[in-house]
Structure 1
Amino acid sequence: MLELSDISHGISEYNCTEDKISDALYLRSDQATNNIVYTTISHNIDFLNDDEIKNLPILLALIASLDTKKYSYQELDNEIYIASGGISFGCSTYKEEEKEEFKPRLNIKFKVLEENFHQAIDLIIEIIKNTKFDDKKRIKEILLSSKSQIESGLLMSGSQVVMGLVKSYYSPMGSYNNKVSGLDAYKYLSELLSDFESEFSKLKDKLIKLYKKIFNSKDLIISSVGKDEDLDNNKKALEKYINNLNRQEFKKAKYSFIKNNKNQGIYLSSNVNFISKGYNLKDLGEKYTGDKVVLANILSSSYLHTEIRAKGGAYGDGAVFSRNGDFLTYSYRDPNVENTIKVYNEIPNYIRNLDLSQDDLKNYIIGSMNSFDPLLSLSVIDELNLSKYLTKVFDEKVIENKEEALKTNMEKLKSYADIIEKALNENYIGAIGNEEKLRENSKYFKEIIPLNKNN
């Protein structure tokens, strides 16, 4: 049996170094990758206004799937397949622990054999410079497919979606994420498709304007993982990419946000539910510490597992403490509503009465260590390097949090009951699931609405 003394006090190091290509920051990690290079090109998009943010997920669904000046969309798809292991466009947000503002970024991710790196960059340049937005039929097909994928994916990732919904009530970053990749994005997409014929002309103009704006050279960051020699050789291709970017200066936009516990019950065609409740502990004066990861492990694998999964019949459950201060609970494919909410509300009392032997506590601590030093794929190392730079959570901070987890004691764990009670009393709750179940428990929600009012 493992002892705490057997646990390493450090974490894996991925030797990321900072370099420059023109005005862009070049984060590079020398790794043995079997001649494959993993790269993320990250664009700052903090200058987008509310309407542009709303249309960003529409653009990201279309880009790399439409005709360009040089290729039909079928030819482009084939060229991407030949040259790379895939090229994806997505939006991510980052936040430093001690700052209120978050950083929205548009990330282009791709992996290629070193010999094909220049070819992949040429394809990306073609996509960001020469995409055509005039094929109404093709655009509608893509958006309908995207809508269908979101709907079918809800029953697979409903717990993540409902936690995102709750975060959107109290967190500016959560609200932004909900608009670009959550339920707000889905609702906007549904509205567009319900009146697509009359809306297309306006949509096209908005997309073209947004498309010309977002691929900007200001505050550009490029992160790559591969052999050092290859990363040197790729500088010329990346410089070519930079030279094709928009260099117009845009003023940072103010993101408007007001806290509002909307407490929505959102129904769709489903017999099961996904329920979340939580709040931000930092807003209540509580800092993130590593021993909260141990507490999350205890709550998820003991209390919530017993009450929500074993007794309640749900497929899954959990509690999460994030670096940004979020404390969130969730249930997955849950037949219940009221019982689950009552279980969440009893978490503080469970913590106050927690009575673990030293061996049990030790096992929970050991079971939490993977959170601080997980086994990472090479593509995730690329993402990690970018995230560390933007959030300023470097190895020293992670090691400090790991030490806090290793020193977890019962007295400290029990001390968190009061702050968690305060968070739960803020009463931020969301649910996605069965209409009948939600209406039976309407006292917990301020509104019960359909996922898609246009269906």
Structure 2
Amino acid sequence: MIFQVGENYNGFKLLEEKEIKEMNSIGRIFEHEKSGAGLLYIQNDDDNKVFSITFRTPPTDSTGLPHILEHSVLCGSRKFPAKDPFVELAKGSLNTFLNAMTFSDKTMYPIASRNDKDFLNLMDVYLDAVFYPNIYEKPQILAQEGWHYELENLEEEIAYKGVVYNEMKGAFSSPEQVLFRKMQDSLFPDTTYKYDSGGDPEVIPDLTQEQFLSFHKKLYHPSNSYIYLYGNGDIMEHLRLMNEEYLDNFGKIQVDSEISLQEPYKEPKASTVEYSVSADESEDNKTFLSLNFVVGKATNPELHLAFDILTYLLLDTSAAPLKKALLEADLGKDVFGAYDHSILQPVLSVVVKNTNEEEKERFERIVFDTLQQLVKKGIDKKLIEAAINIHEFKLREADYGRYPKGLMYCMKSMESWLYNESPLLHLNYAATLEKIKTALTTNYFEKLIEKHLIKNQHRSLLIVKPKKGLAQEKEEEVKQKLSDYKEKLSKEDLQKLIENTEALKKYQEAPNDPEDLIKIPLISLEDIEAKAETIPLVEKTEENVPVLHHPMFTNEIAYINLLFDTTVVPQNLIPYISLLSFTLGKVSTEKYSYEDLSNEMNIYTGGIDFRADAYSLKDDDGTYFPKMIARSSALVKQIPKLFELLGEMIGKSKYDEVKRLKEIIREVKSRLEMNILQDGHIVAARRATSYFSPIGHYKEICTGIEFYQFIEELERNFDNKLQEIQSNLQKVASMIFNKNNLLVSVTIEEKDYEVYKQSFNSLMEYIKDETFEKHQYLFDYSIKNEGLLTSSKVQYVAKAYNFNKLGHNYTGHLQVLKTIVGLNYLWNKVRVTGGAYGAMAGFSRNGNLYFTSYRDPNLERTLKVYDEAYQYIQQFSADEREMTKYIIGTISKMDAPLTPFMKGQEATANYISKIEYEDLQNERDEVLKTKPEDIKSLSSLIKDVMNQNYLCVLGNEGKIKSNKEVFEHLVNVFK
């Protein structure tokens, strides 16, 4: 339909209409005249529609009020009074995205779906949740999601419990998280940004019910809202729903949520914070040093984009001069940069990890000396070209993986809209990018460095240093505080706490009223496509190498994956396959220095990366196919250059650059440490799987704790092991990169395949044509059931085994069981009543099964929940509507929209694992036909798996040691 500026459409007045060529879209800005709500509508032909409602929510303390409220409003509302409509939607909608997010100054509620009816249903539930939540009638919601005192009897100690409380205990266990959370505090002492919107565990228990309700009453009003719609949906129907059902009930008001600017510092400031390391862990070389600069305002589109590129240029590539200078000075073992442009006053940070506090003066000196040299001598124009080109490629590709691109555009729009500027400011980026490209012939970036970094007094030096046993110390302080509190309470007060604890548990364990569940909208199974999606795959051969061609529209981009069989590598060298993947592209080749190689890659391609992985035969974890994968993308016209660069990396890399190898190994160790603390649930589940599964053990060697231990030893004994490292990298590379080991996957349009074909022989010139013996790997499965000790304040609890080994077979019903167990049993037992941030299950075709928890305050209790899961399944019952819900939720995950790159990857994985289209269709048919009795029949499978008692817990050393009888081995993760 044709819109007219100034006209009113279902209560919304159109203020502005503008073409967004960069997104092939039309942007329309509306205001709801009665309520004052703002709305941005991005119209295009994308069927993955996105809706979001955002509120400006600047915190006034660190109780985590915005974060707790974000959780809480989704716990039932006026029209949808069930206790957890969010989970019900996750169980039973075709959503492609469903979540809520708390930022430093805003709270966002986004959903996405490709199904029109489902999309409208999701909008309805979310709008009712934010405007009419049950928090006013049910104080149990704050107690559950935020915090509460827990006391079950008079003899027990009082404890703090709550989902967000435990989530943030987990967040504050990571030194990187401590660093990033304290950066804003060091720069904005007089504004909202000094507070932690997520919540500081030490402050969260100060939050009262009155503050909680008052915050919602004040800020969750349409006049303080920013509504976003994206895609090819029925805009008039969406506007009607919002107007008639919600916004028309409100009048326009003035909401005081303005975010004030921090006055610039007259001189830089420094601050120090501590983080905990375990009692057996060294404090040496464990400090973080961070220089943080306030850079203008987010509403300056040119500065905003330019500093995104500049951060990459200075700190993110192998050629990055500031990163290189800091590493060459041997200041620390890892260097990285961060540019936070999601706040009113963006911040650029330069971070050195694994250093010591006494290096702070040298750190500052090297940073500023390097910046001054860049201004004086000028930045290498090729480096500038590389940084601009890779950013432009990514902007135009708009591939955000499993995140809908419409959601990423929403976040980008908020970086101006929230601060009273046009939401289109950063979406119309082409003209801004052209201005920045003048840097190729001028001193553009040098001027930015001089003004915003060298001469900038509004900066801070933040020191984050380790302290042994700090976590234990804090725990003791909390225990003492609660003990003192208990002492002050009368018997009646204590009895009241016990009653409150019981009442909360009753509330949590009580089933939803069936009538409340029926109110949550549900599509029917008829709305679901019965056929599994077919991803095109044409088997071809070029230069005697098998090629899998996936012809589809890619917008002139070629996605090319080279997959090399790595069973040619002997067992003792498997960890070197993974180390090689981190090394390629980051060391020099015969033709290019590693800096030049980085520049060439960024100028001519969309990226090249390597990784070690393995694919299992569809129904057997003992038969698997280890691969070294080179993933790459480029514009079709740049395929010849892409192959030249790939060839140089694969066939001509130099492994004799001592300093560079040391830097790479240190960086790999640093990033693995971050991953262990951030993704502990995956780490624990992978480790547990390695106790019994051949493919699980292989992946553990390449990516898990075992690989971390390997890297840690190389880094610690680098000088003694140097020749061994160089020799083994060369040996492994020469074995792997052979024509006889190669399979190629190409995702490209049919019309462009000839370009690939004509160029392919140039790549073959770099690859040997030799035959190596292939190995059978025999792993040691004697080590199992470990407690992996860290200074974390929470646990990640995993249990796993292979059901095929116990005589059970894979069926599509297992995927429905995953939905039921994950979003019902584990959600209620581990998250709701247990207080963990999350819990999940995994069921693979090859028989591997795991349960794992995330940021969990418990250990034995969670293991007991896993062990008793079969009883829940045994007694499972569901009416037709409830069963439909679980099926829809399962299909939603199976049908997650894929980018062309992801489609090519998935088709290739199925090909290698010998998963035929018939297998996918059978699985889909089984999912769609799942009955309650099919679920009940799986109880024996779960019981048998849990009875094998293969478990791994990563987390708090005190908690694990106090439960040491559970484990066969206790392992200190960090030294």
Shorter-chain TM-score tier: over 0.9
Kindly state the Cα deviation for residue 243 of structure 1 after the two structures are TM-superposed.
3.4
Measured in 2, the distance between the counterparts of 1:390 and 1:54 equals 22
CA distance in 2, matches of 1:412, 1:345: 20
| Contact in 1 for aligned 2:811/2:923 (Cα 8 Å) | yes
Q: Does 1:424 align with 2:933?
A: no
SS in 2 for 1:5: helix
Displacement, 1:5? 2.5
Match of 2:546 among 25, 49, 54: 25
How far the C-alpha of 1:98 sits from its partner, in A, is: 4.3
Q: 1:274-289 to 2 correspondence within 5 Å?
A: 274-289=796-811
| Displacement after TM superposition at 1:149 (Å) | 0.8
Residue 257, structure 1, aligned to residue 757, structure 2: no
1:142-153 alignment to 2 at 5 Å?
Answer: 142-153=664-675
CA drift at 1:269: 2.6
2:904 corresponding residue in structure 1: 382
Q: How does 1:114-193 map to 2 (within 5 A)?
A: 114-193=636-715
SS of 2:679's partner is helix
Confirm or deny: 8 A CA contact 1:84 1:111 kept in the other structure. yes
Distance 1:256 1:371 in 2: 35
Kindly indicate whether the alpha-carbon contact (under 8 Å) linking 1:372 and 1:398 is maintained by their aligned counterparts in 2.
Answer: no
Aligned partners of 1:332 and 1:357: how far apart in 2?
Answer: 31
Distance 1:450 1:77, change over 3 A: same
In structure 2, the residue matched to 1:101 is 623
- Structure 1 stretches of at least 4 aligned residues deviating more than 6 Å after TM superposition: none
Deviation, 1:146, is 1.0
Question: Aligned partners of 1:385, 1:356: CA distance in 2, in Å?
Answer: 35
3-state SS of paired residue (1:218): helix
Are 1:36 and 2:557 an aligned pair? Answer: yes
What's the offset of the Cα at 1:225? 0.9
Work out the CA distance in 1 between the residues paired with 2:783 and 2:701. 17
Shift of the 361–260 alpha-carbon distance from structure 1 to 2, 3 Å rule, reads farther
Q: How does 1:280-429 map to 2 (within 5 A)?
A: 280-429=802-951
Cα distance in 2 between the residues matched to 1:271 and 1:146: 25
CA–CA distance in structure 1, aligned partners of residues 754 and 845 of structure 2: 34
Corresponding residue number in structure 2 for 1:15 = 536
Structure scoring higher RCO (CA < 8 A, sep ≥ 6) equals 1
**2:742 corresponds to:** 220
For the residue of structure 2 that corresponds to 1:224, the secondary structure is: strand
TM-score by length of 1: 0.97
Give the corresponding residue for 2:218: none
Cα distance in structure 2, aligned partners of 1:136 and 1:50: 25
CA distance in 1, matches of 2:655, 2:619: 41
User: Is 2:552 the partner of 1:49?
Assistant: no
Q: Take 2:858 and 2:595, find their aligned partners in 1: how far apart are those partners?
A: 46
Tell me, yes or no, if the aligned pair for 1:11 and 1:372 is still in contact at 8 Å.
no
SS at structure 1 position matched to 2:897: coil
Cα distance in structure 2, aligned partners of 1:336 and 1:451: 19
Contact 1:213 1:246 in 2 (8 A): no
1:418-443 Cα deviation digits (max 9, x unpaired) = 12111111110001111011111112
Partners of 2:592 and 2:870 lie apart in 1 by 59
Seq. identity, %: 30
Instruction: Work out whether 1:447 is the aligned partner of 2:972.
Output: no
Shift of 1:95: 2.0
The equivalent residue for 2:204 is: none
More displaced, 428-437 or 54-63?
54-63
Quote the Cα distance in structure 1 between the aligned partners of 2:644 and 2:803.
46
Give distance in 1, aligned partners of 2:737 and 2:577: 12
Q: Does 172-181 or 366-375 show the bigger shift?
A: 366-375
User: Is structure 2 residue 585 aligned with structure 1 residue 64?
Assistant: yes
User: What amino acid is aligned across from residue 92 of structure 1 in structure 2?
Assistant: D
Match of 1:235 in 2: 757
Q: Distance in 2 between matches of 1:143 and 1:359?
A: 54
Q: Say if 2:619 and 2:810, in contact at 8 Å, map to a contact too.
A: no
Please list the CA deviations of residues 258-289 of structure 1 after superposition, one character each: whole Å capped at 9, or x if unmatched: 44461011112311111110210111111111
> Which of these two proteins has the greater Rg computed from alpha carbons?
2
Tell me by how many angstroms 1:102 deviates.
Answer: 0.9
Distance 1:179 1:272 in 2: 25
SS in 1 for 2:746: strand
Counterparts of 2:923 and 2:657, CA distance in 1: 52
TM-score normalised by structure 2 residue count? 0.46
* Alignment check: 8 A CA contact 1:261 1:428 kept: no
CA distance in 2: counterparts of 1:23 and 1:95, whole angstroms: 25
1:83 paired with 2:611, answer no
Secondary structure of 2:559's partner? Answer: strand
Q: Could you tell me whether the CA contact under 8 Å between 2:553 and 2:900 is conserved in 1?
A: no
Deviation string 1:286-325 (CA, Å, 9 cap, x unpaired) is 1111011001100000110111111112111111111111
Q: Distance in 1 between matches of 2:578 and 2:744?
A: 22
Cα distance in 2 for partners of 1:51, 1:102 equals: 18
Offset of residue 242 of structure 1: 2.3
Contact 1:52–1:210 (CA<8 Å) still a contact in 2? yes
In structure 1, list runs of 5 or more residues that go unmatched: none
Deviations 1:96-145 (A, max 9, x none): 23454211111100010111111011011111122111221111111111
Q: Which moved more, 1:252-261 or 1:66-75?
A: 252-261
Could you tell me which amino acid in structure 2 is paired with residue 284 of structure 1? L
Distance 1:194 1:83, change over 3 A: same
What's the secondary structure of 1:101's corresponding residue? strand
Distance 1:408 1:395 in 2: 20
Per the alignment, do residues 253 and 319 of structure 1 end up closer, same or farther by CA in structure 2, a change over 3 Å counting? same
Task: String of CA shifts for 1:16-59, please: whole Å, max 9, x gaps.
Answer: 11111011111111111110011111111112111221221222
Deviations along 1:341-380, one digit per CA (max 9) or x if unpaired, are 1111110111112222221111011100034332111111
Q: Distance in 1 between matches of 2:530 and 2:720?
A: 61
Distance in 2, matches of 1:4 and 1:210, equals 51
For 1:220 and 1:130, the matched residues in 2 are separated by: 17
Q: Distance in 2 between matches of 1:323 and 1:242?
A: 35
1:204 aligned partner? 726
- State the distance in 2 between where 1:322 and 1:252 align: 26
CA RMSD of aligned residues (A): 1.3
Matched residue type, 1:332:
Y
TM-superposed CA distance for 1:222, in Å, is: 0.8
SS at match of 2:904: helix
User: 1:159 is paired with a residue of what secondary structure?
Assistant: helix
Q: Give the corresponding residue for 1:4.
A: 525
How many Å apart are 1:167 and its aligned residue?
0.9
Give distance in 2, aligned partners of 1:247 and 1:298: 51
Amino acid at match of 1:312: G
Mean Cα displacement is larger for which, 170-179 or 152-161? 152-161
Deviations 1:209-268 (A, max 9, x none): 112221011142111111112122111222221232121111211101244461011112
